[in-house]
DNA sequence: CGCGTATGAATGAATG
DNA sequence: CATTCATTCATACGCG
């Protein structure tokens, strides 16, 4: 456990996914991707794959199954999550306002498995700054032979961001449904900045 | 490589002292909240804030930044964790019920992993023995003054009808040309096996 | 100093 | 696609 090095988390507590068809003794009910699986998925993601179709999902799943147990839905969820968090990160993460600018470190936000690709400093716009899928042309990710050419005219001019505006509604609905467990009267804080 | 597990916290010392003891924020990997920061966060939580929205998170983060280095994601995580742990605690207590189970293991999570759904439909559904969370409706902590006027046009995302129907169905049946997806129509990213 | 606990961080799973 | 819940991993800290 060096402190300077990379502590490869290896995600391995119940990581024995290699049971093949047995499916026994898997005490953890949650899929725990292996390193290879993650790598493959990440590569695909970086290659521009964001929302694989059903058949793609199945193929990916099949391919990944050699590394450990996996289901199609895992792949499905993985892409969903990965994409969502990529977005989310741009919104939440490190949006240090103009207030204070401590240029202490540039790696303010953690990158879970981001393989060195553009991480432009985001503005906290709720939309827009996405869909910028980069397109690679020849991706030789796998030991197989055929490398499909990828037509890269995506343009991704998708402005399909459905404005899920939740400004004023959520504020109250949140409290009405979520509630708060406080036995004390609503303290009137000086939270005016909110 | 599976750099998905890297902790960039790959440095060692981090003595972000706090609590009014002086102490200066040494930029370390992990955010260490200040006493004031914790207090404010806790106050907000006690005031009923459970899952702040993005804009709230940012404001909170900005506000807290005067006490020390902080990022939006820290606020985000803080609320996530705080809420989760409280629920967890409550669940654990309710599990004990009248029986003192203190010998077998400390792992007292039901771990009901079901491939169907979970038991918490939405925000607040408690087992039973909890404290009767009160809904604060007179919470004027968050002025909606000009937020509302900010939003005049909504246009109501009508195309929000994504077929996010259950995973399984989507995966193993015809995708039925949702038309809403197809990230980039062309890009037939067929990486070997796809 | 080793260990248990509190908690920050991450992510799989699911729902709307 | 957004949001949330649940669970787990990784650390900082305090204790004995």
Provide the pLDDT for residue B193.
67
Provide the pLDDT for residue A113.
35
> Is residue A130 scored above 50 in pLDDT?
no
Read off φ and ψ for residue A7, nearest 5 degrees. -85, 95
Which parts of chain B have pLDDT scores under 50? 1-27, 98-166, 168-169, 171-189
Bridge partner list, A180: B134
CB of B164 lies under 7 Å from some atom of strand C: yes
Sorting pLDDT into bands at 50, 70 and 90, what band is A179? very low
Contact residues, chain A, for B63 at CB < 8 Å: 193
Q: How far is B128 from chain A (nearest CA, A)?
A: 14
> Is residue A146 scored above 70 in pLDDT?
no
What's the CA gap between B176 and A54, in Å, rounded? 10
Query: In angstroms, how far is C6 C1' from B111 CA?
Result: 22
Contact residues, chain B, for A103 at CB < 8 Å: none
Provide the pLDDT for residue B185.
39
Provide the pLDDT for residue A124.
33
What's the CA gap between B22 and B34, in Å, rounded? 10
Please give the residue that has the higher pLDDT: either A3 or A48: A48
Provide the pLDDT for residue B187.
44
Provide the pLDDT for residue A172.
32
Please give the residue that has the higher pLDDT: either A67 or A110: A67
Judged by CB atoms closer than 8 Å, whether chains meet at A182 and B134 is answered as yes
Provide the pLDDT for residue B41.
95
Provide the pLDDT for residue B12.
33
What's the CA gap between A64 and A70, in Å, rounded? 7
Provide the pLDDT for residue B88.
84
Answer positive or negative: Cα dihedral of A173, A176, A178, A181.
positive
Query: In angstroms, how far is C12 C1' from A109 CA?
Result: 20
Write the CB contacts of B163 (distance below 8 Å, at least 6 apart in sequence): B170, B176, B178, B180
SS3 state at B91: helix
Provide the pLDDT for residue A145.
28
Q: Highest-confidence range of A12-21, A27-36, A111-120, B58-67, by mean pLDDT?
A: B58-67
What's the CA gap between B117 and A124, in Å, rounded? 34
Stated pTM of the model: 0.60
Answer positive or negative: Cα dihedral of B99, B100, B103, B106.
positive
Which of A175, A177, A184, A190 has the highest number of chain B CBs within 10 A, making it the mutation to test binding with B? A175
Identity of the residue in B6, B73, B187 whose CB atom sits nearest the CB atom of A92? B73
CB contact at 8 A, A168 and B151: yes
Query: How far is C-alpha A84 from the chain's CA centre?
Result: 6
Judged by CB atoms closer than 8 Å, whether chains meet at A48 and B137 is answered as no
Mean of the per-residue pLDDT values for chain A? Answer: 55
Provide the pLDDT for residue A84.
93
Query: In angstroms, how far is D13 C1' from B7 CA?
Result: 20
Provide the pLDDT for residue A39.
93
Interval A48-62: pLDDT, tens? 999 999 999 999 999
Provide the pLDDT for residue B28.
58
Sorting pLDDT into bands at 50, 70 and 90, what band is A8? very low
């Amino acid at each position: 456990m060096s402190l300077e090095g990379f502590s490869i988390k290896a995600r391995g507590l119940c990581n024995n996914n290699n049971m093949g068809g047995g499916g026994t003794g898997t005490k953890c009910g949650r899929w725990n991707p292996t390193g290879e699986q993650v790598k493959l998925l990440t590569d695909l993601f970086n290659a521009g794959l964001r929302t694989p179709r059903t058949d793609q999902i199945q193929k990916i799943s099949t391919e990944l199954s050699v590394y450990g147990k996996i289901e199609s839905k895992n792949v499905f969820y993985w892409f969903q999550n990965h994409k969502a968090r990529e977005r989310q990160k741009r919104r939440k993460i490190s949006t240090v306002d103009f207030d204070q600018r401590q240029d202490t470190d540039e790696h303010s936000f953690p990158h879970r498995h981001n393989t060195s690709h553009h991480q432009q400093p985001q503005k906290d716009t709720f939309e827009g700054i996405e869909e910028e899928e980069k397109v690679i042309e020849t991706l030789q990710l796998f030991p197989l032979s055929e490398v499909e050419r990828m037509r890269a005219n995506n343009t991704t001019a998708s402005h399909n961001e459905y404005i899920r505006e939740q400004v004023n509604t959520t504020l109250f609905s949140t409290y009405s449904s979520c509630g708060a467990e406080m036995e004390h009267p609503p303290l009137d804080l000086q939270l005016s900045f909110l």
